[in-house]
Chains A and B, each alone.
Chain A
């Protein structure tokens, strides 16, 4: 289920969008591409294996792989299961990648745009995460 074309390698932090809805995930990814551009690796996943609403650990793992960057990957999620399944996917990553993937506590659409904007300037993973999380209510 290749949802994005293969992307050129980038030194910038990658962004993965995980929603219960494929349409939400795809729309958020469209906004990132149009507003921020192509300087960050980006991928998304949404819906369960049957095509209904939900999230799927294997699909999240594949999205992380497609958006992989040596600088790491920041994941933006919507509701509960998206977060727990993303955390499960992170635990299943190879050991050398596990420490370089984080889930951001930020609204999925705005967080994706802001995280990608920060990442496009070459900021490291912890700064990308922190900037996205500035959006959350204090």
Chain B
């Protein structure tokens, strides 16, 4: 990982924050890219593998927290764009059933 990562940040505006259901969506989306993708709650880290459902669920970021993304690899920019978009869309929470409990 000698080249600089692609980075982005996005505030969590969905009601439940990064709880169970959003965590699943985030890891599934991250896994669809070849890039190494990590997230953190602060620019200084600690950084967590965005493809690990267990680790992402342990982040437990509340509404209002800012998610920081960084990625390396050929499709890093696409991965970061897609993940920031997912957060911006509030994980499509309004559309999913019974989203209130996370």
Contacts and interface: CB of A to CB of B under 8 A. Distances in A.
Interface size class of B (residues with CB under 8 A): 10 to 19
A118 B51 CA distance: 8
A117 B21 CA distance: 10
A122 B20 CA distance: 20
B97 A120 contact: no
A113 B52 CA distance: 12
B53 interface: yes
Interface centre among B55, B57, B96, B97 (most CB of A within 10 A): B57
Contact of B53 (A34, A37, A114, A122): A114
Interface centre among B20, B24, B51, B52 (most CB of A within 10 A): B24
B54 A135 contact: yes
Contacts of A113: 20, 24, 53
Given A121-B31, A121-B32, A122-B31, A36 B52 contact: no
B74 interface: no
A121 B28 contact: yes
Given A34-B97, A131-B53, A117 B24 contact: yes
A114 B51 contact: no
A92 interface: no
Interface in A73-92: none
A34 B98 CA distance: 9
B28 A117 contact: yes
Interface string B67-102: 000000000000000000000000000001110000
B14 interface: no
Given A34-B97, A121-B27, A131 B20 contact: no
A114 B24 CA distance: 8
B28 A131 contact: no
7 contacts: A117-B27, A117-B53, A122-B31, A131-B52, A131-B54, A134-B52, A135-B54
Interface of B: 20-21, 24, 27-28, 31-32, 51-55, 57, 96-98
